């Protein structure tokens, strides 16, 4: 499938989405931190450097998915719904860090991440109605959040 050419305006939009989604996604960790010495790490807990690398990649895929939804030739009401559902799941994503790390509440974090998991599934479903490639770009995000939910649950259960 040939890659469509982007206009200068589309390049600016894509760059803005990449920067905006990554910046917004990083804000909770910047303000709350992600200090891990207060809980026992489960055996599959990755090295610390993995998290910012993974999240940068995932936030970038989300931004590209948003871009594809915005430029899709779909009914405006479907696009608006996709954007609203995306916003809801992204808000849940942003809440997890303050709950888990800020409040030091693994149980609260687990509640948020389970809700986030279902919200990502809904976002994939709604994106698929607008742009199948946009939906596919969210699958790695769902996989990572599934792994994060497993780690969160392991922390709640004591490793």
pLDDT tens readout for residues 30-39: 999 888 999 9
Q: Indicate whether this model's pTM tops 0.85.
A: yes
| Torsion angles phi and psi, residue 9, rounded to 5 | -65, -40
Structural domains of the chain in order of their starting residue, each with its CATH number = 8-156 (1.20.1260.100)
Full DSSP string of 55-115: HHHHHHHHHHHHHHHHTS-S-HHHHHHHHHHHHHHHHHHHHHHIIIIITT-HHHHHHHHHH
Please tell me the predicted confidence (pLDDT) of residue 145.
Answer: 98
Tokens of 158: 């004591």
| pLDDT value for 159 | 57
Encoding tokens for residue 17? Answer: 């989405």
For the chain, 159 residues long, the average pLDDT of each consecutive 10-residue run is: 82 97 96 91 94 97 98 96 98 98 97 98 98 98 98 92
pLDDT, position 120: 98
The predicted structure's pLDDT at residue 121 = 98
- Give residue for tokens 């800020």: 102
CA atoms of 117 and 75, how far apart (whole Å): 27
User: Do residues 95 and 112 lie in contact, with contact meaning Cβ atoms separated by under 8 Å?
Assistant: yes
Report the pLDDT value the prediction gives residue 34, as an integer from 0 to 100: 87
SS (H, E, C) 10-30: HHHHHHHHHHHHHHHHHHHHH
CA dihedral 86, 89, 93, 96 (to 10 degrees): 160
Alpha-carbon distance 143 to 140, whole Å?
Answer: 5
Residue with tokens 């969160």: 152
């Amino acid at each position: 499938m040939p890659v469509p050419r982007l206009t200068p305006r589309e390049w600016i939009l894509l760059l803005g989405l990449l920067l905006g989604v990554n910046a917004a996604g990083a804000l909770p960790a910047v303000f709350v931190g992600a200090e891990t010495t207060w809980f026992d790490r489960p055996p599959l807990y990755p090295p610390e450097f993995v998290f910012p690398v993974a999240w940068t990649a995932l936030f970038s895929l989300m931004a590209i998915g948003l871009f594809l939804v915005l430029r899709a030739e779909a009914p405006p009401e479907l696009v608006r719904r996709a954007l609203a559902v995306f916003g809801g799941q992204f808000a849940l994503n942003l809440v997890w860090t303050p709950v888990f790390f800020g409040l030091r509440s693994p149980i609260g974090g687990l509640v948020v991440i389970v809700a986030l998991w279902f919200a990502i599934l809904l976002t994939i479903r709604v994106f698929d109605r607008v742009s199948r490639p946009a939906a596919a770009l969210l699958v790695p995000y769902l996989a990572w959040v599934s792994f994060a939910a497993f780690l969160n649950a392991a922390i709640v259960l004591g490793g």
